[in-house]
Structure 1
Amino acid sequence: MFLHIQDKIVDFCAALRFLTIFSFSWRQEEDFSHLRSSIVWFPSVGAMIGGVGALLAWILTLFASPAVTAIVLLCYLAFVSNCMHLDGIADSADGLLSARSREQSLKIMKDSRIGAMGAAVLILLLLAKFAALLSISAAELPATLFFMPFAGRCAMLFSIGTMQYARGEGGIGGLFYSSSAKKHAIIAVLFLVGTLCLIYGYLGLIVFVGILLGFILLRRKSIQVLGGATGDILGAQCELAELMTALTVSFLF
């Protein structure tokens, strides 16, 4: 029983170290062997990131201008994950929008250099996030900052549960795939919907529909071009879910 609980704690630590900049050495050498089972903790890590973000948003609204508040929060969301997901959406844009074959698109996405499509999408994403955060009232901003990373990590898990891995040669993203991923993905989505409705009432369903719409569009494009998901697509789904959360809230409130 104790060993089982300890394994769960190691799973959580592996998820925390992978998804955030927070690093600690306890059993860090075991991370790769625990990545597959760590996915169950993705929503929890997202909620933790969101909790810190909500507190930061509340503090900033007390003394900072809306523009300064928005840019600080934007920086927090980017750097708390070491910009890993921003890199994912830039690489995904380069590959998905290249109008090349599946093999060439996957090769483009593996290239560490950013292309014109990736740079354009990255700039537009950050501008859209900034505009959305700037337009949300001070009263609604803390809840929005909670749900943005929470929804983003749920979207990553839902991608793993509903999309096959596209790289036959393997990759970091493939380390998260397991037979139980679909079950964990369903639980994460139900948890997200329930929490949204708890905070926003019936409007929470509209926020979820906005998140789901972005997810479906990227999922469809990824399957059409690549035949499934990669690690970059998982990061892109996270960023898109964050954006759609902020945009939908900005439209509703």
Structure 2
Amino acid sequence: MKREWEDFRIAGAFLTVFPVARGLSMEPRRLAGSMAFFPAIGLAMGLALVVINWALGHFLPRPVLDCLLVLVLIAATGALHLDGIADLIDGLAGGKDREGTLRIMKDSRVGAMGVVGLVMVLLLKYLCLFNTPLELKSAALIFMPTAGRWIQVVLASYCRYVRAEGGTGGAFVDHVAEREVLLATGTLLAAALVLFRLEGVFLVFLLGLAAMVLMRYFNARLGGVTGDVLGAATEVVEVLSLLLVLGMFASA
């Protein structure tokens, strides 16, 4: 249990701005091992959002509160994944080939397409939350960040790292193993069952299909993934999970 607790802390330190892994080794294999607990960190984030929603729900209008919830998630992650989606969109929009795309993605400057993509992701996330019925809102707030961090484990496991010069993402992608995928997927499935009962299994199945599409696309377009791709995938799946909750449950 000591190793699992340390892996959980390492995952928390990497995915959030909170210094919860002081004194722990951050060598590549430990970083990769911590991916087993990425969805668990997302689950903890979701529970925190539920508490904030409950605490402020009696004092703030819902549009303001939902905007604040999105802002809290951004602040807790240090906008790590939003940076990834902006870089990825810039690269895909401006790169004519794999090398050009990767070169643009590495540029710290954000272009017009990246800004537009960033705004649309945040707007979609906010509108999905705002239109989620109150009886589903807590479940959506918990499931969204859990699914968003699960996709990182899947892509890291089944895609190769494409930057020859290395990078932070390479430490995860090069060493992630079957254990991490099984534990991460088990966490997501358990959360879905608790939150949505048997319908949650179908929800996870749809996310699995989406993961296959993303894997095939990134392998075909880039030859694999980078740290930016993993972060961008988190934002995409967070939005997709909210859309699926709306489509499957809100209209029922």
- Aligned equivalents of 1:95 and 1:192: distance in 2? 30
Do the aligned partners of 2:32 and 2:175 also contact (CA within 8 Å) in 1? Answer: no
1:71 aligns with 2:75: no
Distance apart, 1:178 and its partner CA: 4.6
1:151 aligns with 2:147: yes
Matches within 5 A, 1:226-237: 226-237=222-233
Deviations 1:2-26 (A, max 9, x none): xxx5544433322111100111573
Matched, 1:216 2:212: yes
- Aligned mates of 1:77, 1:84 — CA distance in 2: 11
Counterpart of 2:84?
88
Worse overlay, 112-121 or 203-212: 203-212
TM-score, L = length of structure 1: 0.89
Q: Is the 8 A contact 2:91 2:104 kept in 1?
A: yes
Q: Which residue of the other structure, out of 131, 152, 166, is the alignment partner of 2:127?
A: 131
- 1:196 correspondence with 2:192: yes
Q: Using the TM superposition, give the Cα deviation of residue 204 of structure 1 relative to its aligned residue in structure 2, in angstroms.
A: 1.4
Select which of 52, 56, 75 maps to 1:60.
56
* Alignment match, 2:158: 162
CA distance in 2 between partners of 1:130 and 1:180 (Å): 33
Closer/same/farther in 2, CA of residues 51 and 162 from structure 1, 3 Å limit: same
Deviations 1:98-120 (A, max 9, x none): 24111111111111111122111
Secondary structure at the aligned position of 1:97 is classed as helix
- What amino acid is aligned across from residue 97 of structure 1 in structure 2? A
**Are 1:103 and 2:113 an aligned pair?**
no
Indicate the SS of the match to 2:57: helix
Q: 1:7 to 1:202 in 2, by over 3 A?
A: closer
How far off its partner does 1:209 sit? 4.1
The CA deviation at 1:64 is 2.2
Paired residues of 2:150 and 2:184 also in contact (CA < 8 A): yes
The alignment of Structure 1 onto Structure 2 pairs a total of residues equal to 248
Whole-Å Cα distance in 1 between the matches of residues 227 and 67 of structure 2? 27
> SS at 2:58's partner residue?
helix
1:31 aligns with 2:26: yes
Paired amino acid for 1:232: D
Unaligned regions of 5+ residues in structure 2, if any?
Answer: none
Per the normalisation by structure 2, the TM-score is 0.89
SS in 2 for 1:112: coil
- CA distance 1:48–1:61, change in 2 (3 Å): same
Letter in 2 for 1:129: K
Structure 1 gap segments, 5+ residues each: none
C-alpha offsets along residues 104-163 of structure 1, whole Å, 9 cap, x if unaligned? 111111111111221111111111111100001222111111111111111111111111
Aligned CA distance change for structure 1 residues 148 and 166 (closer, same or farther; 3 Å)? same
Distance 2:199 2:7 in 1: 34
Name the Cα RMSD after superposition. Answer: 2.0
Give the whole-Å Cα distance in 1 for the aligned partners of 2:207 and 2:59.
31
Equivalent of 2:18, from 13, 22, 28?
Answer: 22
2:180 & 2:100 partners in 1: Cα distance?
A: 32
Distance in 2 of aligned mates of 1:199 and 1:24: 27
Letter matched to residue 69 of structure 2? L
SS of 1:167's equivalent in the other structure is coil
- In structure 1, what is the Cα distance between the partners aligned to 2:176 and 2:82? 27
